[in-house]
Amino acid sequence: MKHIFEHRVFYADTDSYGVVWHGTYLRWMEMGRVYWTEAVGFNLIDLKENHNVVIPVAGVNIRYKMSAKVDDIVVVETELQSFNGLSAVFKQIIKNKVTDKVYTEAEVTIVAISNEGKLYRRMPKLLADVFEQELKCPELV
Indicate the SS3 state at residue 120: coil
Q: How many CA atoms lie within 13 A of 78 on its CB side?
A: 27
Cβ proximity of 55 and 111 under 8 Å: yes
Nearest CA to 88 out of 30, 116, 31, 130 is that of: 130
Nearest CA to 50 out of 114, 129, 111, 110 is that of: 114
Alpha helices in 1-141 (DSSP H): 22-39, 44-51, 125-136
By annotation, the residues acting in catalysis are 15
Indicate the SS3 state at residue 89: strand
In degrees and rounded to multiples of 5, residue 46 shows phi and psi of -60, -45
